[in-house]
Amino acid sequence: MTTTVESRTPAAAAASNRRRRDAGGIWVRAMAAVSVLLAWWLTSLAFTGVVPSPLVTLERLWHIVRYEAFVSSVAVTLGRVGAGMAITVLVAVIVGIAMGRNRIVELFLDTFVLIGRTIPGLVWALVAVMVVGLNNSAPVVAVFLTATPLVVLQIWEAAKAESRDLFDMAKVFEVGRAGRLRHILLPSLVPSIVAGTKLGLTLAWQVVVLAELFGLGSGVGYQIHENFSNFDIAGVLAWTLSFALIMAFIEYGVIGRVQARLVRWRPATELKS
């Protein structure tokens, strides 16, 4: 018996991997969703009048989408998330590349990055509201302080791992520093930048909602606070669920697809006997 290694085209490898993932993943996810709904329903039976059932929450969600300030509230919160992440990614790319390619910069900033990623977003949301005040800048600042260390870490590690062979070759052909950055380093870092953005976005929307909960007069967090003040648990769950689904779609349906396209060029190998 002989063993050979067959190289496949990226498209064929991606299609094969997708079929395998889909076959096993759909049923597992379906079972997980059913299990959560069943546990939720049983909890609502055990705490009647306190915990709303899934059906009651979905009815409340439908009412929110149709009649309440759903679109405007979601748009305000998404705008704050987008502004915070735009600043975060811009700064993280600059700092991450500097740390990955310059040892002095790395030693100067690595402690702050590693400590910063351990501080909860709740703390930064509180600090931002206290320092900046109850305005649109507070959630943006909170997102920046929470997400930047995580995105920097992704880009820093990727930039540090880049081989110097291409850079040395570029120097031989007299490619300037700007050209090496634009044509070699940045394209190779795009997958890490997208991955870091996806990771930061997971925390960003939570931090924005927290900042809105602490006293802002608009956004999804404000709507959650209003329902909390009225002890409307179904409303709290409905608003939380609605925005979580929107952010999940953005993270996995949009950014996830972009990320998959960016890495599908990588060759795949398969062992055959």
Helix (H) or strand (E) holding 92: helix 70-101
Q: How far apart are CA 150 and CA 197, in angstroms?
A: 9
Architecture of domain 59-272: Orthogonal Bundle (1.10)
**Percent residues over pLDDT 70 in the chain:** 77
Nearest CA to 125 among 204, 197, 186?
Answer: 204
CB-count burial class (<10 Å; 0-12, 13-18, 19+) for 255:
middle
| pLDDT per position as a tens digit, 73-107 | 889 999 999 999 999 999 999 999 888 888 898 89
| pLDDT per position as a tens digit, 139-160 | 999 999 999 999 999 888 888 8
pLDDT recorded at residue 271:
37
> What is the CB neighbour count within 10 angstroms for residue 231?
9
Q: Where are the domains of the chain?
A: 59-272
Dmax over Cα atoms in the chain, in whole Å?
Answer: 74
> What is the CB neighbour count within 10 angstroms for residue 123?
14
Between vectors from CA 241 to CA 238 and to CA 247, what angle results, nearest 5°?
Answer: 140
pLDDT recorded at residue 82:
92
Cβ(151)–Cβ(88) below 8 Å: yes
What rounded mean pLDDT belongs to the chain?
Answer: 80
- The end-to-end CA distance of the chain, in Å, is 7
